[in-house]
Amino acid sequence: MGIREQIRQALEADAASVCNLHAQHDAGHEVLDFLAGYGAISLGHNHPDVRAAVEEVLQARPPQFLLVAAQPLAAELARRLAELAPGGLDLCFFASSGSEAVEGAMKLARLATRRPRFVSALRSYHGTTLGALSVTGSERHRRPFQPLLSGAVFVPFGDAGAVERELRRRDVAAVLLEPMQGEGGMRPAPDGYLPEVARLCRRYGALLVLDEVQTGLGRCGRMFACEEEAVEPDVLLLAKGLSGGIAPISALITRRGLWERAYGTLDRYDLHCSTFGGGAVACAAAIATLEVIRRDGLVEAAARYGGYLREKIAAATAGHPLVREVRGRGLLWGIDLDAPAGGMGEDLVGQWLVVGMLERGVLTQVCADATGVVRVQPPLTVTREAIDRFALALQQTLAEHATGRWSSVAAAAARAVRSRAARAFG
């Protein structure tokens, strides 16, 4: 069998037994994706302009990974990102995942400041590699892998005074924050918090690293969520939506002076590098993605449709006994559920809603570190009709509780757990 046939066959393999989603697909039902690969599928699956850009690269056959010099597409992408990024952020380092971008920021901060410690927030999520995990404010994620990096401390998100208490010791290399906590349950920073932390970092000589892996590139109704309060970090991290969902790529954007302070000597210039960072295909996909976002006004659309989505979620959840709160920005929302008294735990109540939605043809998922919070993050290309369909499915699923069809809950949750486990091990 030819290689193309082998790929086609692998793509067509029957996955129905391991995943509800595939089962629905195979049965010819459309699935509305309001998870969007945790935000990676920012332009919807296989956007034609991003595919065309990738095809162009494959046709042109440039060296895919040059390494001894900047790949031309990486240089072009860096130029465009530097233009978009706030303040004087003018240097990009590319890698393949959000976690790697966080690692890069931590290493940069240690070398540039010659200081050891990191401050991050409780309930934060910065990734799965050991450094990024060390600054992730979730006991459940960290504990099994201890000992992790020493010198990482956690403060309550939103409490600038707690950050200052740590900074006063003048041994903090960086404060790492998400402008809106994602995996911790979709929690926007309180007003004034980020500008105050930025001021404190400048005062005490620590770097401010903003992890916009999830919130960046239009997701929150701004190109970068930190623009909402005009905060200029020392390091801005992007990943997920950067390539429109086609190829893995992340970016660390900082000031050239900082990078040079860290790595600007002969014995240090190569202490941080990445074999696959800045590859031609991923960079072409990212350039196309930025261009589609600009050309189609997707940042403004995220703000506009975000307002509509907020209204529809509010209407579908209003007064429901299981819904504690609805939080978010732009096209990134969380429905915070209350486990009903005398039974189901928070994990199950989240999965109950997720499975109910999937059974109505809408894909969502819970947050990694807040399993009672169901995330709502459609592609930036979402339409009003799609939001209406989502809202109807939400209302119908929640209504199951009101009409006493509560017995479906345990079975639905069990199906969800089975499909999750199958995906993890299958």
Q: What residues line the site for ligand PMP (CB under 6 A)?
A: 38, 97-99, 102, 125-128, 178, 182-183, 211, 213-214, 239
CB of 59 to ligand PMP, least distance (A): 29
- Beta carbon of residue 325, minimum distance to ligand PMP (angstroms, whole number): 20
Question: How many CB atoms neighbour CB 338 within 10 A?
Answer: 14
Closest chain position to ligand PMP (CB): 98
Token representation of residue 238: 């992007």
Q: How far apart are CA 69 and CA 72, in angstroms?
A: 9
Smallest distance, ligand PMP to C-beta of residue 382, A? 20
Nearer to ligand PMP, 101 or 288 (CB): 101
Backbone dihedral angles phi then psi of residue 404, each to the nearest 5 degrees: 85, 10
- For ligand PMP, the closer of residues 283 and 323 by Cβ is 283
- Beta carbon of residue 101, minimum distance to ligand PMP (angstroms, whole number): 7
Cis preceding-peptide flag for 379 (omega within 30 of 0) = no
**CB-nearer residue toward ligand PMP: 109 or 412:** 109
Nearer to ligand PMP, 350 or 356 (CB): 350
Give the shortest CB-99-to-ligand PMP separation in angstroms. Answer: 3
Nearer to ligand PMP, 128 or 408 (CB): 128
Is 354 in contact with 366 (CB distance < 8 Å)?
Answer: yes
* Min separation Cβ 85 and ligand PMP, Å: 17
Three-state SS annotation for 248-280: CCEEEEECHHHHHHHHCCCCCCCCCCCCCCCCH
Q: Least CB distance from residue 127 to ligand PMP, whole Å?
A: 4
CA 359 to chain centre: 25
Q: Which is nearer to ligand PMP, 247 or 323 (CB)?
A: 247
Q: Shortest gap between Cβ of 128 and ligand PMP (angstroms)?
A: 6
**Nearer Cβ to ligand PMP (38/263):** 38
Residue closer to ligand PMP, measured from CB, 182 or 245? 182
CA distance 78 to 282: 12
